[in-house]
Structure 1
């Protein structure tokens, strides 16, 4: 299997949140021309016998395949039901996946939590992009074959090499959606301008430097995807508020996660943590 046909993984557990994630993953697999792998992780902590657990998993996966077929009858997804801790299994499977798609909360989540622990752990540790599908703006009566009218792809970028992976993913996502606009958000402050060797006391000059930085970051990608409409948005201050607000009307909000801090629980920056926790629509976390 090549990097061009690695599957989109949809994690399901029977919750409404995971079914919305399955719908999103199905459509994304079709857009990108990728196979779909539907995964139900049978938790090690659940006290049921092997035969019962396997039967319940088979029933859930069969129902998930039927639901996916309502959206994409020709997709023919495969299924898997490993016995493991959910986030550990998904992180392991993600080594051979294009992306993992999860719901924002699972069956065991408290309604007061905006994101479940398994979704957060997977997004913090996976080596492939992880999409967390928040359904705050979704009508519960919506049929699985329908989709919203949101078309913007929003990407939050930093002024360094870590933005390359985010931009590659965001541009490819926008290119797969006809008519999509890519909004690229970059938060800057006078302190970040100073650290980058830019203007220190002149706010207008610092804003101009942020504009130029965004233009430099995106120029090569615009050459690769000339059909994608791009809007660059340098934001004076933290980008988190802008990204959360934009997520309400975005088809996808894309943020980065630095590699290397997983073992210490430091995979997500404050901006990424805020965005993935409070977003109103799907968020993709891309390892940088």
Structure 2
């Protein structure tokens, strides 16, 4: 299966965040020239008759397909209703997908949680990039949101923000970030790299001279991005070496970004170690959509 055959997967469960994710996924599929597969996992439940569960799933998928046809009528769609737990179903489907998109919380989560268990599990284990879309305003904020709709449209967020490390794990993050920025005319790519005196020492760089460490981080970031800037000359790039952890910078930047991109190291999934502290903090506290890219 080629990359152009691998669809964007949108997970739906009827919640507000999943509706936001569906619309985000539909627009992204069009930008990338890919199909969209809408998935609703039917969690095994002995308390509900199988026929009832199937009917409810079909009704949800029907509504989802209609919504997609309203906003992007040219998009080709398909649908799936696997009988499995959502995280397991989506992780399995990610093997043949270009991108999995889901909401930050589903119907079963507590409203006080910033990130649902399914979102965290899929982001930690999927074989392809995963985008977690933050839900829109709550019901009580609806009127205020409507009042600000016109102003908000004029201030559409276009930045793609990517957090990178000073090693080979950044290649996947940079590839995804540049591809995403290139598919959005006028988008700017902000590349954030956090550095500390300790990390410089571990990598064999300067230790006691803060200015020298900062200069070294700047050079490292320039080297990491040089080849990608040549491949995507149309993308405006801003390099941001940050003294200290990049987490705070990424979370702050996410408020005005179309997408924030972080990496996940492969191999630690079985122990729950797929997400670094920076990636998990960004995914949990970001104010907008976050892409987690396996590296």
Query: Normalized against structure 1, the TM-score is what?
Result: 0.96
Map residues 78-227 of structure 1 onto 2, 5 A cutoff. Answer: 78-135=78-135, 140=142, 149-227=156-234
The unaligned stretches of length 5 or more in structure 1 are none
- Measure, in 2, the Cα distance between the counterparts of 1:248 and 1:46: 42
Residue equivalent to 1:40: 40
Residue equivalent to 1:24: 24
- Measure, in 1, the Cα distance between the counterparts of 2:46 and 2:132: 24
Residue equivalent to 2:60: 60
Asked if 2 retains the 8 angstrom alpha-carbon contact of 1:136 and 1:281, the reply is no
Equivalent residue for 1:241, pick from 241, 248, 261:
248
Asked if 2 retains the 8 angstrom alpha-carbon contact of 1:136 and 1:280, the reply is no
- Measure, in 2, the Cα distance between the counterparts of 1:259 and 1:58: 35
Higher percent of residues as helix: 2
How many residue pairs end up in the alignment?
A: 286
The unaligned stretches of length 5 or more in structure 2 are none
Structure 1: 4+ residue segments shifted above 6 A: none
- Measure, in 2, the Cα distance between the counterparts of 1:83 and 1:200: 55
- Measure, in 2, the Cα distance between the counterparts of 1:250 and 1:71: 22
- Measure, in 2, the Cα distance between the counterparts of 1:163 and 1:62: 39
Q: Deviations over 1:119-156 (max 9, x none)?
A: 1000000010000001356975679xx97711000000
- Provide the alpha-carbon RMSD of the alignment: 1.6
Residue equivalent to 2:9: 9
Aligned CA distance change for structure 1 residues 189 and 46 (closer, same or farther; 3 Å): farther
Aligned CA distance change for structure 1 residues 207 and 171 (closer, same or farther; 3 Å): same
Map residues 255-274 of structure 1 onto 2, 5 A cutoff. Answer: 255-274=262-281
Query: Normalized against structure 2, the TM-score is what?
Result: 0.94
- Residue 4 of structure 1 and its aligned partner are, at CA, apart by 2.3
